[in-house]
Structure 1
Amino acid sequence: MSVIHGLEWTFNTEAEKYEKMRPGYVPELYEDIFNYIPINKTSNVVEVGIGGGQATLPILKTGCYLTAVEYGSNLAELCRKKFREFPKFSMVTAKFEDFECDDNTCDLIYSASAFHWIPEEVGYKKVFNLLKSGGVFARFANHPYKDKEREEIHEAIQKIYSVYMPDTLSNDEYSENDAEKRADLAGKYGFIDISFKLYHRTRTFTAKEYTSLIGTYSDHIAIEECTRSKFFSEIESAIDNLGGKITIYDTIDLQLARKP
């Protein structure tokens, strides 16, 4: 999914649907983070862009102090309620660029499918400054790809997109080379011990579930409601006419980097 800057606001308008439909992350990813930096009851952690809290619970279960930063007020309120049973959880409604925190105080800063909304130079520099020496930045993101086993579904959906979103191109599957290039960005800002890893999974949806999912994508939310309704109806019909199910092939990339 390409990033269209200026559409950050869109997710907040679909907070409940976003929380329900956006996926979490595989257990192996958290194991790799905790092997890289042990997190415990004394650790100070910041999550950049909590969204619907898809990546939050495994971190909270370590018993750490977790401060989540979220620009969308509806998403922030949803997560305040979602994690209210964790006394060390706190929620700040702000852009990360405006988030106030003392330098050299964080053991771990992480961001799940959100850091790409922050200007690179601003984001990496701020993370570096907030981390303690030896502290870690973990950035990870999910990259969905077409139903690789059923080209007819992909072609049918692409025809519909050519009418309603003609500027939307079908992206290549996220690759190891893509992950390495993105991970290496941290080196420009003083980070060391940089590493990356890819994880793979599939998710299968009914036609209705699939349009609920894409209804949480920023550029789709921005479409005028009447047009979006027709667009999604045609997608649902295409999937139903081709078996009623669609499978998405996800690649998740994890970038780990340490402050000297």
Structure 2
Amino acid sequence: MDFRKTFDTIPEQFDKWRPRYCEELYSEIITRTDLGTHKSALEIGPGTGQATEPFLKTGCDYLAIELGENFAEYMQNKFGTYDNFHIVNDDFETHNFGDRKFDLIYSAATIQWIPENIGFPKIFDLLKPGGILAMFMTYSDYKSGNEALYEQMEEVYRKHFYVETKYTCRLDYEHALNYGFTDLNYQEWNKERFLSADEYVEYLAGTQVEHITLKEPYKTRFYEGIREAVRNAGNQIKIIDTIALYLTKKPDSDAVSL
């Protein structure tokens, strides 16, 4: 199964429940790239644009490439009033960008869908010398703030969570250094969220790729079990989010030092 367009089937639900990033992350990227009207940016797989507007507001020449037809339409409706907004509905892996080059290329929890031996070389080629690659995502910890509840939810998973295809997209972001990038820098920020039982079920159903593909009778049994577990734990689950940012750059010159 190709999971890449799974979220595209539920754009409104995805947009509502997808965790947002923090202002500190945007500030770090924009400052590092000196992003403004004189610079260009490419966003890979923007989805519904949770990480789009801060970059648009700099006035940069912004281009998004989005595989999902519904997501691309959603983005156009959301940001089409910006004169510097442009979007292409196509597959980054195969799209021909012509002679375009960018000062910033960034991915908000998308680049892991692209095989590294395709993604990193193509991004390297699309960047101007000295250009920046920013990769960021949210890692969510459901266990630390809910030890007893977590064990009860794990039991629900063991009993009712049956998916036909496992999600296996993984990427070691530090592998960018194997493809010519340099000066890799990592930063992180932490946030907390509190969701009720109903909110947590909607969050799972709208943002977790395997959960979206659940079929009956497992789907109903699973979500009923999760809802009951959270309600029995005071109708609240605490989620600790780590917002992770990897910044790396293409060398200022294409020349290789020996």
- Scaled by the length of structure 1, the TM-score of the pair is 0.89
Indicate the residue corresponding to 1:210 in structure 2.
200
1:145 deviates by: 1.1
Partner of 1:185: 175
Q: Does 1:195 align with 2:185?
A: yes
Aligned to 2:124: 128
Give the Cα separation in 1 of the matches to 2:159 and 2:141. Answer: 20
Alignment-derived partner of residue 146 in structure 1: 142
In the TM superposition, what is the alpha-carbon distance from 1:226 to its structure 2 partner?
4.5
Matched, 1:87 2:78: no
Conserved in 2, the CA contact under 8 Å of 1:49 and 1:70?
Answer: yes
8 Å CA contact 1:145–1:249 kept in 2: the answer is yes
Q: Is the 8 A contact 1:183 1:195 kept in 2?
A: no
Question: Match of 1:23, SS?
Answer: coil
C-alpha displacement of 1:80: 0.8
Deviation at 1:207, TM superposition (A): 0.9
Q: Report the TM-score when normalising by structure 2.
A: 0.89
| Count of residues paired in the alignment | 244
User: In the alignment, residue 149 of structure 2 is paired with which amino acid?
Assistant: I
Structure 1 counterpart of 2:107, one-letter code: S
Q: Which amino acid in structure 2 is aligned with residue 96 of structure 1?
A: F
Secondary structure, counterpart of 2:6 in structure 1: helix
% same residue: 36
After superposition, the CA RMSD in angstroms is 1.8
Partner secondary structure for residue 98 of structure 1: coil
What's the counterpart of residue 32 of structure 1?
Answer: 28
Query: Quick one: which of 233, 244, 249 aligns to 1:242?
Result: 233
Q: How does 1:1-260 map to 2 (within 5 A)?
A: 6-103=2-99, 105-165=101-161, 182-216=172-206, 217-260=208-251
Aligned to 2:167: none
3-state SS, counterpart of residue 215 of structure 1: helix
Instruction: Give the match's secondary structure for 2:140.
Output: strand
Structure 1: runs of 5+ lacking an equivalent: 168-180
Which amino acid counterpart does residue 99 of structure 1 have in structure 2? H
Runs of 4+ in 1 over 4 A off after TM superposition: none
